Structure 1
Amino acid sequence: MAKITPCLWFNYQAEEAAKFYVSLLPHSHIDKVVRSPADNPSTRAGAVLTVEFTLAGQPFIGLNGGPQFPFTEAVSFSIDCEDQAEVDRLWEALTRGGGSPGPCGWLKDRFGLSWQIVPRALPKMLEDPDRDAASRAMQAMLKMGKIDIAGVTRAYEARPSA
């Protein structure tokens, strides 16, 4: 068992969310579903109380807590994407069915959880010791919703005219 496991409070959609999330990434699976006992005052007996799941090797708990505490952008999950195809696939899947795109590679899924869909190439460009190239990459990225690796790369590689 992991020493620290994030617990996500859902509005009675924990099992649906967990099944959706594990379908998106390798090394992901549902580990355990815990059902409510008969004497739980917050839900009916037998309803899903918690879902333990592993997402890309990281354990999580989904809690069916109700509508009191919705997600905010104060917590988000960043996905390291190998290439544009992975960025596109995850962006489409996570925004489908009620999710919403945001700026700079951020989005909210249909459960209200915030995600950062980050192509692996982006941090390398932003960390480049050539601060002018890094700045051009940053300025290009700031104008995007879903990150377009080719567009950021063009800006990064552009040389100012003399």
Structure 2
Amino acid sequence: MQQKITPNLWFDTEAEDAAHFYISVFQNSRIVNVSHYTEAGPRPAGTVMTVEFELDGQRFVGINGGPEFTFDEAVSFQINCDTQDEVDYYWERLSEGGEEGPCGWLKDRYGLSWQVVPTGMEELFADPDPARAQRAMQAMLGMSKLDIAALRSAADGVGAT
């Protein structure tokens, strides 16, 4: 079945480099197709126009559209991680050459925003005990890379003053 919605990512000139980087980070990933500009332009003929790629089954298209538009935090991609090791892996790989942000957010070397999120975090924030939920939220607000054990400890009041 064809994917109904495909995110398109606008790059200046680095769509192919970015696609290769992303497929090196995510398992079960591949370049699907690369197309090039023709004499019709607007970029020089033969340069990469679009790169279609798949990250663990999710299809994306990168386009070398020029410098007019850049990424910002208004759009991000969330990576749901089952273990702290997985959080650590994606955080390290994607933030390399990029910028670490607060609360599990980072920008990669191309300026694209990602949220590296451990599973189980949402249950902490929705805890029926508002004090537990508040302690977990306060702990998260002080983190860059999220640490699920530290969030749980905070929710439990361990180490709280």
TM-score, normalised on structure 2?
0.92
**Counterpart position of 2:152:** 153
What residue in structure 2 maps to residue 24 of structure 1?
25
Shift in Å at residue 156 of structure 1?
A: 1.2
Question: CA offsets, 1:65-109, max 9 Å, x none?
Answer: 111000010000010011111111111111112x00000000101
Shift of 1:56: 2.2
Give, as a single letter, the amino acid of the residue that structure 2 aligns with 1:94. Answer: L
Aligned to 2:38: 37
For 2:104, the equivalent position in structure 1 comes to: 105
Q: Counterparts in 2 of 1:67-146, with a 5 A limit?
A: 67-97=67-97, 99-146=98-145
- Residue identity opposite 1:47 in structure 2: T
Gaps of 5+ in 2: none
The CA distance in 1 between the partners of 2:159 and 2:30, in whole Å, is 48
Counterpart code for 1:15:
E
| DSSP 3-state at the match of 1:152 | helix
Contact 2:50 2:61 in 1 (8 A): yes
Q: Distance in 2 between matches of 1:153 and 1:29?
A: 36
Between Structure 1 and Structure 2, how many residues are aligned? 159
Distance 2:57 2:79 in 1: 12
Identity rate of aligned residues, in percent?
Answer: 53
Work out the CA distance in 1 between the residues paired with 2:35 and 2:158.
57
* Partner SS state of residue 54, structure 2: strand
AA in 2 matched with 1:141: M
1: CA distance between counterparts of 2:93 and 2:158? Answer: 36
Q: Tell me, which stretches of 5 or more residues in structure 1 are unaligned?
A: none
Q: Which residue is equivalent to 2:14?
A: 13
